[in-house]
Amino acid sequence: MKYTLIAFNFNPDRIDRKYLDECFRHPEARANISDGVYVFDTRKGWTDIHRLRHFLSRLNISFVELPFEQALGGFFPQSTRDKLKAIGISDDALFNLSE
């Protein structure tokens, strides 16, 4: 399975949450890690990814897009692991550097 991580600096003075939320129409295809950090199942969430890219570009907000297939490494608290598992990323694919 392929995934896409998109991250940007979420500034509530520049980004109206109502308009940001309109980008996300497939919640089952996305894990909200924190404000401005989202992981998508690329196949299921490609339209949300496209809407988010367009939204951020219109506001002239820089963002990082990281596609990946197999594994994701980082410091994952259990709540984050649970969110990632909900979109299909297994424990085997998460390299938790905090362990």
Judged by phi (left if over 0) then psi (alpha if -120 to 50, else beta), residue 66 lies in: beta
Residues 6+ apart with CB under 8 A from 21: none
Residue 19's H or E segment, with its range, is: helix 17-22
pLDDT in tens, the chain (99 residues): 789 999 999 999 999 999 999 999 999 999 998 899 999 999 999 999 999 999 999 999 999 998 888 777 777 778 888 888 888 877 777 765 555
